[in-house]
Amino acid sequence: MLFQRSLLCLTIGAALPFSVSAANSAAEKTVVESDEAVEFNEQFLLNSSANIDISRYAYGNPVLAGTYRVKVNLNNALKSTSEITFNENGTPRASACLTPLLLTQAGVDPAAMRDDVEVDDNTTCLDIKKYYPGATANYDSGKQAMDLNFPQIYILKRPAGYVDPSLWEDGVPAAIVSYDMNAWHSEGNGTTSDTAYVGLRYGLNMGPWRLRSRGSLNWNKDTGSEYNNQDVYLQRDITALKAQMVIGDSYTRGDAFDSFSLSGIRMYNDDRMLPMGSSNYAPVIRGVANSNAKVTVMQSGNKIYETTVPPGAFEINDLSTTGYGNDLLVTVEEADGSKRSFTVPFSSVTQMLRPGATRWDIGVGELNDDSLHDKPQVGYAQFYYGLNNTFTGYIGAQYTDMNFYAGLLGLAMNTGIGAFAFDVTQSHASIDDLGTLSGQSYRLTYSKMIEATNTSFNVAAYRFSTEDYLSLNDAASLQDSVKHQQYAQQSYRSGDELYDDYQRTKNQVQISINQPLNPGRNNLGLCVCQRNMAGLLE
């Protein structure tokens, strides 16, 4: 029986570098090791006469010295995939070198070790029990995983989905090409026509830089071929600012001012670089626990968040929510089983931000509009700031070197009856032969989810503009028209006549309603849009 048991143990030990045994999985044990030595009979091995040292298996599955690329888990949550060095220590099992950088990247609070080592030190091997009593580190060679278990007091509070920026990668150098093409042949009335079109999109990735371009090749049997380059730009991440920088052709955001095409340099924050628990709007939940309590957050009958909190005041600021929202039901379950609940209003419009969050977009360059004879130099900036759970404030400014200026001031709010945003834009333009034109544009946005029917008024926007209000695109086009008589129906027309005929948006209403008919499968959508123009068709 002794020999049979030894053989069984040896078989499991040999398989463990590739998989975890059922016995250890059931016991939730992540390291295959034993404090008691086991002696194996070499006669049970095939080719037992070979010089094979199996003594290293006497205390379980050994880990050889070297550098391994392993998954790093902190309290059962995957944090990163990193290279860890295992050093000889005079035993069959090498010791893992846990560096300050590795622990910090995993989410361990560096405060306890900051006096002795640098946080970004990736060479010093720490004795984790010296700095973090109660902490353990177990390596599972079968899963190539390092399982770190630390008391909650030593864990940094980070939003859901957080990944340390030092672990971000630029990707590999690569060239990218994609295309679509079609050809057309037609005959009629004794004539034939042959045309072809090729749309091209190509780029180059090199380190943090991304070069992109888009164009089209048009061919006609009578006129030959012509290539049109539509845009080209160079882009890269600005990690420290969680932002993107674009040099070349790009479109500005349209959430404050009307969007326009800019040929120049632009920087804007990128929500995709934020953790899942920090992007998009969600309210901060505050409450008080009388004991060690469990806090559960429900939305539309679904559990979206659960955590445990110590006695005293607590704050939840990393909710991950979807859509335009429904009110949140918060339940606090105390250690004695008692429960109490309260509701946090939650509705959102695109202008809303989390408390303390910012959104910004700035740029300078040339207005990229091929219909203009003279393209003005332009600059713009817009900034949003989450004031608290209820209010988000935002401002913006635009200018051109053709004497156009515009300023915007707005406020968005989350209320129990829905989310609102209201802003006003003041424009000032000096147009040849017209003098100074000044006006205002007022915009109101509303969004609400009706929980009883699950009907969402996703966007309901109303814009009203006074007579002499001009957007940046309108001002540039009108200035160009007056200067070059683009709309002239006779040899010369005055600026007032051109202005009276110039078409521009005066009022606009957009309403979008969505009603699920079969959740997850079918939806009924309704979109209504009305626009009143000023000018020739007024």
73 vs 433, which has greater pLDDT? 73
Residue 10: pLDDT over 50: no
The count of other CB atoms within 10 Å of the CB of residue 431 is: 22
- CATH code of the domain made up of 285-344: 2.60.40.3110
Identify the pLDDT of residue 295.
92
d(CA 109, CA 116): 14
Best mean pLDDT range from 87-91, 132-136, 484-488, 498-502:
132-136
Task: Decide yes or no: CATH 1.10.645.10 for domain 2-167.
Answer: no
Kindly report each contact of residues 164-169 with a partner whose C-beta sits within 8 Å and lies 24 or more positions away, as own/partner: 164/80, 164/104, 164/105, 165/239, 166/101, 166/105, 167/80, 167/82, 167/105, 168/239
d(CA 144, CA 71): 6
For residue 486, count CB atoms less than 10 angstroms from its CB and return exposed for 0-12, middle for 13-18, buried for 19 or more: middle
Mind giving me the DSSP string for 126-182?
Answer: P-HHHHSTT-EEEEETTTTEEEEE--GGGB----TT---GGG------EEEEEEEEE
Considering the chain, tell me which residue range(s) the CATH 3.10.20.410 domain(s) occupy: 2-167
408 alpha-carbon distance from chain centroid: 26
| CA nearest to 281, candidates 330, 329, 347, 345 | 347
Tokens of 319: 């909710």
pTM of the full structure: 0.74
Residue 332: pLDDT over 90: yes
d(CA 253, CA 250): 10
Residue 428: pLDDT over 70: yes
Segment holding 4, helix H or strand E: helix 2-15
Residue 467 — pLDDT band, cuts 50, 70, 90? Answer: confident
Tell me which amino acid residue 487 is: Y
Residue 35 — pLDDT band, cuts 50, 70, 90? Answer: low
Identify the pLDDT of residue 503.
66
Q: Could you report the per-residue pLDDT of 381-419, keeping only the tens digit for each?
A: 999 999 998 999 999 999 999 899 999 999 999 988 888
Q: What is the 3-state secondary structure (H, E, C) of 118-129?
A: CCCCCCCCCCHH
Compute the average pLDDT of residues 439-458: 81
User: Hunting for tokens 């100074």 — which residue is that?
Assistant: 436
d(CA 437, CA 273): 41
Mind giving me the DSSP string for 42-93?
Answer: GGGSTTTTS----GGGTTBS---SEEEEEEEEETTEEEEEEEEEEE--SSSS
Q: Which residues, 6 or more positions from 224, have their beta carbon under 8 angstroms from its beta carbon?
A: none
500 vs 533, which has greater pLDDT? 533
Tokens of 246: 């674009």
Tell me which amino acid residue 492 is: Y
Residue 46 — pLDDT band, cuts 50, 70, 90? Answer: low
Q: Could you report the per-residue pLDDT of 152-199, keeping only the tens digit for each?
A: 888 888 877 788 888 888 889 999 999 999 999 888 887 888 899 999
Identify the pLDDT of residue 514.
78
**Size (the chain), residues:** 538
Residue 50 — pLDDT band, cuts 50, 70, 90? Answer: low
The count of other CB atoms within 10 Å of the CB of residue 252 is: 22
Considering the chain, tell me which residue range(s) the CATH 2.60.40.3110 domain(s) occupy: 285-344
Identify the pLDDT of residue 22.
31
Residue 505 — pLDDT band, cuts 50, 70, 90? Answer: confident
Q: Which residues, 6 or more positions from 332, have their beta carbon under 8 angstroms from its beta carbon?
A: 287, 289, 293, 294, 295, 339, 340, 341
Q: Could you report the per-residue pLDDT of 222-273, keeping only the tens digit for each?
A: 888 888 888 899 999 999 999 999 999 999 988 889 889 999 999 999 988 8
The gap between the terminal CA atoms of the chain, to the nearest Å, is 100
